[in-house]
Amino acid sequence: MKINLALAQINTRLGDVQANLEKHLALIDQARRDGADLLVFPELSLTGYALQDLAAAVALRAEPENPVFDRLLHASRDLDLVVGFVDEDRRHRFYIASAYLSGGKVCHVHHKVYLPTYGLFDEGRFFAWGEAVRAFDTRFGRVGLLICEDFWHASPPYLLWLDGAELLIFTSSSPGRGLSEEPQLESARWVEHINRAYASLFTAFVAHANRVGYEDGLHFWGGSTLFDPNGALLARGPFDEEAVTMCEVDLSQLHHTRTRLPLLRDERTALVRRELERISQSQVVNERGAV
């Protein structure tokens, strides 16, 4: 099966959901005309990133009763969508979230499970921690969603791989940092390296949509990428410019790569589980100072 996968690296208006929604709908229309099957927006694409005390004011629920999602769901009838937003649960906890919409329905909502709260980041102050990493079925196969810091840790992509994900969709609002003589910032190069590594290690497609623009002094660098199960770069968006980067993806590459390289078949999950349990136990012991 071949699909047209599109990565929308947009700029956003900080805290202005309505303006960001209109931009989403315009790009969705354009992508539909261009023949896209799946359009991926970055982390917090409906709200902007450095929300701080705006988090509660811009929070949504991914359900048809919500007027923002009503329009997005309507737009998803013939084009699958990934959008970024602040999700408010029934107990009024706020999550950084991504929703996969298809055929007018919400297929899956992922809550960011790693909230960076160090250096320039302060997400843990404003948001609740997600509690699940789950792959889900779509009309294009099994998919896993992760948000930025989630894939700076190796375990969430690993779990999605074991859970059957063939297409890993990563979204970011990644502030660029780390100057040197290199033509791209350290953070941009790091993200691209690990995405290529995940594609190679997990013999899966890895799509990454990263936003562009500025918020105060933070600069978001774009450079969205798509890697195939061999770790080959299929497409890369421009740096520092808004763009929709579309690429035809031949999903049969999974068959070819995984026949050649049966890493998933040979993955020893029972061994991993045993060792994780042992390590967890010994960490408990260590923390009690008994070693």
Tell me if 40 sits within 8 A of 171, measured CB to CB.
yes
Secondary structure class of 21 (helix, strand, coil): helix
**Nearest distance from C-beta of residue 267 to other proteins, angstroms:** 38
In the complex with other proteins, the residue whose CB is nearer, 30 or 187, is 187
For residue 129, the Cα-to-chain-centroid distance in whole angstroms is: 16
Check residue 14 for interaction with other proteins (CB under 8 A).
yes
Each residue 48-67 as x (binds other proteins by CB under 8 A) or -, in order, gives --xxxxx-------------
φ, ψ dihedrals at 171, nearest 5°: -125, 150
Closest separation in Å from C-beta 237 to other proteins? 15
**Nearest distance from C-beta of residue 216 to other proteins, angstroms:** 5
Q: What does the per-residue mask of binding to other proteins show for 133-172, with x meaning CB under 8 A?
A: ----------------------------------------
Footprint of other proteins on residues 212-241 (CB under 8 A)?
Answer: 213-217, 219, 239-240
Q: What 8-state DSSP symbol labels residue 54?
A: G
What the block records as the tokens of 44 is 């917090």
Binding to other proteins, residues 236-275 (CB under 8 A):
239-240
Interface with other proteins includes 287 (CB under 8 A)?
no
SS3 207: strand
Q: How many residues bind other proteins (CB under 8 A)?
A: 25
The C-alpha atoms of residue 261 and residue 251 are separated, in whole angstroms, by: 16
| CA Rg value for the chain | 19
| Plot region of 90 (φ>0 → left; ψ -120 to 50 → alpha; else → beta) | alpha
Crossing angle of helices 17-33 and 67-75, in 10° steps, is 10
CB of 110 to other proteins, least distance (A): 25
Of these, 65, 131, 181, 287, which contacts other proteins (CB under 8 A)? 181
Name the residues that contact other proteins, by CB under 8 A: 13-16, 50-54, 176, 179-185, 213-217, 219, 239-240
